[in-house]
Amino acid sequence: MRGVIVDCALYRQGRRAERPQDFSAALREARSSSDTFLWLGMHEPTEAEFDKVTRAFGLHPLAVEDSLHAHQRPKLEVYADSLFLVLKPVGYDEASGRLSTGELMLFVGDSFVLTVRHGEANPLGSVRGRLEKEPEVLRHGPTAVMYAVSDTVVDHYLEVAAALHTDLDELEAAVFAKDARLGKGTATRIYEFKRRALEFRRATMPLTDPVTRLTGASLPFVHKDARLFFRDVADHLSRVNEQVESIDRLLTDILSAYLAQMGVRQNDDMRKISAWAAMFAVPTAIAGVYGMNFDHMPELHWVWGYPATLLLMVTVCVVLFRVFKRRDWF
């Protein structure tokens, strides 16, 4: 259980008080004081490990089921004893072009915050450290933690979107370069990038409704002074979604342009093949005629017949080559 619990601390008047040995006793202490709350962080707990926490905090079974089984969409659920918020942190490795998504569940109650993390992306370490340096923010209780975590996740979306835009500019330059060698590898890169953009979109777009609801006045366990801060998160999220839409549109345009380029190049190749076939058809036809076993044929017994025939073949091929060259078939 100790390895599953990443951190557990009581915060009194915005300052970290202690790391309790028993979170159940710490929760009772937090509920007995209006200026104290408990923040418990867990990483990928099993059902048996999470059962003790569920009983102590009195969490709703449906929220517990969602927190144990990952692959949830970003959402906000309101229960009698807590709020349940699902976020999807995103990480992007620019060197490998790998986009990784995690899942972060927050239970926010009257005197506690419970965070359950799945996956590699982890914004919580920096959030906890930053908040502990700002006791005036932590005085607002569990709502401050929910705001700080949401704000960090969304701000990191902006960084990921900027990195994706940079890589997309490089992909666009590669596709439209004059000496670009378009082939199967280029199509694979475009589709892989489109898949990354779609995965990023799945993390950002569904979060719009939960953040908008957090700016309203009807949610329990949300401090009234926090609504303005959640509006700032909503504004940043709208910027992220606009960039995601821009990336998706640009990818579609790049893919369409790539397919058009491939079609043009295929037409060019077919014209070259047709031109070469026409040039080879003339000497083949002449040779075929003179290869027939007839006695009465033009210039059959002429001394210069053989060289003249070869010259005729070369002349016709040169004329055809100049005609095709002038029409830019070569």
pLDDT digits (tens, 9 = 90+) for 282-328: 788 777 776 776 666 666 667 676 777 778 778 888 887 887 777 77
> End-to-end alpha-carbon separation of the chain, Å?
73
d(CA 138, CA 166) in angstroms, rounded, equals: 36
Q: What is the pLDDT of residue 17?
A: 85
Most confidently modeled range among 125-134, 148-157, 186-195, 216-225:
148-157
Contact (Cβ atoms closer than 8 angstroms) between residue 143 and residue 21: no
233 — pLDDT class (breaks 50, 70, 90): very high
The predicted model gives 263-290 an average pLDDT of: 77
Percent of the chain with pLDDT over 90: 29
Q: What is the pLDDT of residue 294?
A: 62
Q: What is the pLDDT of residue 97?
A: 83
Task: Answer whether 5-261 and 268-326 agree in fold.
Answer: no
Tell me the residue type at 323: V
Q: Give 67 or 123, the one with higher predicted confidence.
A: 67
Tell me if the domain spanning 268-326 has CATH number 1.20.58.340.
yes
The predicted model gives 46-69 an average pLDDT of: 87
Q: Give 175 or 33, the one with higher predicted confidence.
A: 33
44 dihedral zone (left: phi>0; alpha: psi -120 to 50; beta): left
Q: Where are the domains of the chain?
A: 5-261, 268-326
Q: Which pair of tokens denotes residue 67?
A: 């927190």
User: Rounded to the nearest 10 degrees, how much is the dihedral formed by the CA atoms of 100, 5, 8, 61?
Assistant: 90
Instruction: Please provide the average confidence, as pLDDT, over all residues in the chain.
Output: 84
Give per-residue pLDDT as tens, 112-160.
Answer: 999 999 877 677 778 888 888 988 888 888 999 999 999 999 999 999 9
328 dihedral zone (left: phi>0; alpha: psi -120 to 50; beta): left
Q: What is the pLDDT of residue 298?
A: 66
Q: Give 267 or 173, the one with higher predicted confidence.
A: 173
Tell me which CATH code domain 5-261 carries: 3.30.460.20
Q: What is the pLDDT of residue 234?
A: 94
Contact (Cβ atoms closer than 8 angstroms) between residue 8 and residue 41: yes
Q: Which residues contact 31 (CB under 8 A, 6 or more apart)?
A: 110, 111
Give per-residue pLDDT as tens, 250-266.
Answer: 988 888 888 777 777 77
Give per-residue pLDDT as tens, 2-23.
Answer: 557 888 889 999 898 877 778 8
In three state form, how does the secondary structure of 209-230 look?
Answer: HHHHHHCCCCCCCCCHHHHHHH
